[in-house]
Amino acid sequence: MQAAIGLLAEQGPSGIKARTVATASGLSTMVVYSHFGGIPELMRAVADRGFKELGRAFAQVPVTEDPIADLFAMALTCRRVARENPHLYDLMFGLSTRATYRPLSDADLRLSGHSPAFREAHAHITAACERLVGSGRVERQEPEAIAAQLWSVVHGYITLELAEHFVEFDDAVVQVLLPLGVNFSVGLGDSRARAEASHEAGARLYDSIVPGQ
């Protein structure tokens, strides 16, 4: 799996073949088939590894008294993970803009939303949304629905940024992602002033975890 992740980062999906993965691992091609069944199954395992790493990164974000700050710090964390290996991010979320992976025939096995690794990572988002609803800063609604909406917002931004749709901005995080998060929070019922302060706090919280980012 580590060899496949490295090949994804260096060569993209075209570099993932039984022969290249085996060579990078210092093993025979039979190992790929005997341990995984084939490249599609290996790619599913690699996607799960990606979600586990994302979950570990989310776990590094401290839980504070400001759930919106926590959520923005996690958004920035997700962006960092995606930028470190865009092709792995594509694989995890089933994107086709750069990925050309052959899907597994069983849809239940290839949908990342059914993966325990995905659910464990997503649980960090849901927990923060539960704290947000409990804080009284937003209108009462299902935390799971807020988490799904926020996931869509952040994932959409990351996907567009990776595809270089924000090159005209000097700092897309400051000019696009941060105000996007503020507008989302206001739409949920928070005041604009508090939402702006929380997002700035979230940026500082993230910077305390990953200085210089």
Give per-residue pLDDT as tens, 33-49. Answer: 888 888 888 888 888 99
Mean pLDDT of the 91-117 span: 59
The per-residue pLDDT for 95 is: 67
The per-residue pLDDT for 129 is: 97
133: confidence class by pLDDT, cuts 50, 70, 90: very high
pTM for the model: 0.85
Which carries the bigger pLDDT value, residue 197 or residue 113?
Answer: 197
The share of the chain scoring above pLDDT 90, in percent, equals 59
The share of the chain scoring above pLDDT 70, in percent, equals 90
Q: Over 80: is that where the pLDDT of 103 sits?
A: no
Q: Give the lowest-confidence range in 34-43, 45-54, 63-72, 102-111.
A: 102-111
> How far is the C-alpha of 181 from the C-alpha of 159, rounded, in Å?
16
Q: Give the lowest-confidence range in 86-90, 93-97, 121-125, 168-172.
A: 93-97
User: Structure tokens of 157?
Assistant: 């931004």
The per-residue pLDDT for 96 is: 47
212: confidence class by pLDDT, cuts 50, 70, 90: low
Mean pLDDT of the 176-181 span: 97
- Quick: pLDDT tens for 16-27: 888 888 888 888
Q: Over 80: is that where the pLDDT of 13 sits?
A: no
- Quick: pLDDT tens for 82-98: 999 898 898 888 764 34
